């Protein structure tokens, strides 16, 4: 990992890394350390005194059934978003992978939602499916469904999952296209000569060869569902009704800002950090494996 041809200079390299190092230390490490420290502190109700309480914040959190529910809910959201978005994207990518007229146009028309910000995604979907004025709610009501995501927790959760999956289709589509392009055509032709029909070719050849892409996207989608859904949830439901759409990140925000419970919020941040590190670790191990694949 080291160049053979290098420059000799005593001060210049430090001057070159200094800006990034300064920003990283001030805006990354300092707050991260603060979060860890804060998570061991407890503030009284008036914010007048703080005391060091060891792991009390963590114990309280982890023995709180509501927190446990939030963890389960977040993972459920993640898998629902990943599964629905990945399957739609895979179907579209397989269709677009065929050599056909207008392939580039299809690609352009399918990738742009990547650029739509999460809060905007939330606004678009809540408007379409708003109980009283949404254009799609009329049809749902005509079909006999009592549609009101502002009151019904399950419907609100469905709405959040749909919106979040919608945004992620374009991203998954792009990576599936790249994955499909890297599958040698000769393998598929060999299977065709052996008499495998297209469906069978897909499940026995294409799908297994795509598994590294699928696994990579699964991790990326879970991380996306953890963090980037904040904007969607905030403009759509604010975590409600009740707590039915409150994810881990939303709870950090809610408890810290609105609840004013900084110790607990910090402890939640630290737990989230650990989760992300584990997820990233899984992803890195996997990326390493892909190199030798």
Partner 1 sequence: MVEQEGFRRYIAHIILWIGIAIVAFPVYVAFVASTQDNALIANGQMSLLPGGHFFEVYYQTIFVGTSGSTREPVGNMMLNSLVMALAIAIGKIAISIISAYAIVYFRFPFRMPIFWIIFITLMLPVEVRIYPTYKIVADLHMLDSYAGLALPLIASATATLLFRQFFMTVPDELLEASRIDGAGPLRFFWDTLLPLSRTNMAALFVILFILGWNQYLWPLLITTRDDMQTIQIGIRKMMTTNDALTEWPIVMATAVLAMLPPVFVVVAMQKLFVRGLVETEK
In the region spanning residues 64 to 93, those forming contacts with partner 1, defined by CB under 8 A, are: 88, 91-92
185: Cα separation from own chain's centroid: 32
Which residues does 133 contact at the CB level (< 8 Å), separation at least 6?
127
Distance (Å) of CA 227 to CA 75, 103, 198, 223: 12, 33, 38, 6
Between 53 and 120, CB nearer to partner 1: 120
Between 22 and 66, CB nearer to partner 1: 22
Q: If binding is defined by CB under 8 A, does position 187 make contact with partner 1?
A: no
Between 119 and 153, CB nearer to partner 1: 119
Strand partners, 50: 43
Considering only residues 122 to 161 of the shown chain, the ones binding partner 1 according to CB under 8 A are: 123-125, 127-128, 130, 132-135, 137-138
The residue from 210, 231, 239, 245 that contacts partner 1 (CB under 8 A) is: 231
The residue from 75, 76, 215, 227 that contacts partner 1 (CB under 8 A) is: 227
Q: If binding is defined by CB under 8 A, does position 117 make contact with partner 1?
A: yes
DSSP state of 115: G
| CA–CA gap between residue 213 and residue 208 (Å, rounded) | 10
Q: If binding is defined by CB under 8 A, does position 280 make contact with partner 1?
A: yes
- Piece of 17-25, 51-59, 75-83, 151-159 that binds partner 1 (CB under 8 A): 17-25
Between 65 and 185, CB nearer to partner 1: 185
Kindly report the length of the chain: 293
The residue from 61, 80, 262, 267 that contacts partner 1 (CB under 8 A) is: 262
Q: If binding is defined by CB under 8 A, does position 31 make contact with partner 1?
A: yes
Burial of 158 (0-12, 13-18, 19+ CB in 10 A): middle
Given its phi and psi angles, is residue 242 left (phi above 0), alpha (psi -120 to 50 degrees) or beta? left
Which residues does 255 contact at the CB level (< 8 Å), separation at least 6?
261, 264, 265, 268
CB of 217 to partner 1, least distance (A): 10
Between 157 and 271, CB nearer to partner 1: 271
CB of 293 to partner 1, least distance (A): 14
């Amino acid at each position: 990992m080291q160049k053979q041809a290098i420059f000799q200079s005593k001060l210049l390299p430090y001057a070159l890394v200094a800006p990034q190092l300064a920003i990283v230390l001030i805006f990354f490490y300092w707050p991260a350390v603060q979060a860890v420290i804060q998570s061991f502190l407890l503030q009284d109700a008036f914010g007048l005194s703080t005391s060091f309480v060891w792991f009390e914040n963590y114990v309280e959190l982890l023995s709180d059934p509501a927190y446990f529910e939030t963890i389960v809910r977040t993972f459920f959201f993640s898998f629902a978003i990943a599964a629905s978005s990945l399957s739609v994207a895979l179907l579209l990518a397989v269709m677009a992978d065929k050599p056909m007229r207008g392939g580039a146009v299809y690609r352009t028309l399918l990738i742009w939602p990547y650029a739509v910000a999460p809060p905007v995604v939330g606004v678009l979907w809540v408007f379409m499916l708003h109980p009283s004025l949404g254009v799609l709610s009329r049809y749902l009501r005509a079909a006999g469904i009592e549609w009101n995501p502002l009151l019904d927790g399950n419907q609100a959760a469905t709405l959040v999952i749909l919106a979040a999956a919608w945004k992620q289709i374009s991203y998954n589509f792009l990576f599936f296209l790249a994955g499909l392009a890297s599958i040698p055509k000769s393998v598929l032709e060999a299977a065709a000569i052996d008499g495998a029909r297209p469906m069978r070719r897909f499940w026995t050849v294409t799908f297994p060869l795509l598994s590294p892409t699928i696994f990579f996207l699964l991790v990326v989608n879970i991380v996306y569902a953890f963090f980037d859904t904040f904007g969607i949830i905030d403009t759509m439901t604010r975590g409600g009704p009740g707590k039915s759409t409150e994810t881990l990140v939303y709870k950090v925000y809610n408890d810290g800002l609105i609840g004013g419970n900084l110790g607990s919020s910090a402890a939640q941040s630290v737990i989230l950090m650990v989760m992300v590190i584990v997820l990233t670790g899984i992803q890195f191990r996997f990326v390493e494996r892909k190199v030798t694949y």
